[in-house]
Chain A
């Protein structure tokens, strides 16, 4: 990120309206994993956490929040789709559809 023309800290809110993007993960209940909820703009980690709380947990959705700088996420290349994912298409025996899951097992 640029914009450090007058020696001001990087990500200074008023200096740079294009604040950093953060991905938000919210855990709704104990025992569940954090799930991606969306993203927020914020100048730094603390403000990102607060923004995530204010945007994504307004209706009691959360017990815990993670925020991660979007730029830190390593994503697969869409053009690799065929080589990465196509080979699994012919391996139906990997799906658990041949088993009956008893109701008592619950949330799998």
Chain B
């Protein structure tokens, strides 16, 4: 059976670029799924803005990876199979409720901020990092303020926020290259949100090596359906 899939030859730099690009694309796609479902019109636009920031970051990174591999950004986004994706598992988890979406955005954004800061000194990343840092600062602000209000809100919002934090915690090991720095930024927000910080224990991993949860395949089927069904489609 013919396949439309591409296979990418990965050098360490290509893998680095793809990991960052896939993180941004997959979380951007997840965030965009709130369009039409957010609790408030204002929040709908906020999440759409964030999704577009992330997809913009992904595009810039795919273009950089494309220059090294000869693949177009569309090929890299739409024509790789799930095991070729290098995103961390936390990005592909279903949105769950609003508390889960916000807690994930907060945890990921704090880690991204750190990654972009070190990226400023890396020639292949500096341009993307400089732009992404400003976007990420707003993502952190938005998610942190929401998390504080959900955690320190009603009994129901607190319960949901606490549950989200517990569920997500084992997935945060894969996104924190500097755990201590990440915790220094996360702990004060959890405190203000009156949320209990889980202990660091066993951590999920495998996304960077292409071993994904069942959720990524479903996400990609939807995201890639059009370019795979109508190769070369334009609009």
Contacts and interface: CB of A to CB of B under 8 A. Distances in A.
Are A and B subunits of one complex? yes
Interface in A14-55: 14-15, 17, 19, 40-44, 46-47, 50-51, 53-55
Interface string A83-102: 00000000000000000000
**Overall SS of chain B's interface:** helix
Given A13-B149, A19-B40, A43-B149, A50 B46 contact: yes
Interface of B: 39-43, 45-46, 49, 138, 141-142, 145-146, 149-150, 153-157
Interface residues of A, number: 22
Contact of B42 (A8, A15, A40): A40
Nearest to B153: A12
Given A47-B145, A50-B142, A14 B42 contact: no
B157 A13 contact: yes
Given A41-B40, A51-B42, A55-B42, A14 B154 contact: yes
Give 4 closest A-B pairs by Cβ, nearest first: A51-B42, A54-B46, A14-B157, A54-B45
Interface of A: 6, 8-9, 12-15, 17, 19, 40-44, 46-47, 50-51, 53-55, 58
Contacts of B157: 12-14
Contacts of B156: 14
Nearest to A48: B42
A38 to B, nearest CB: 11
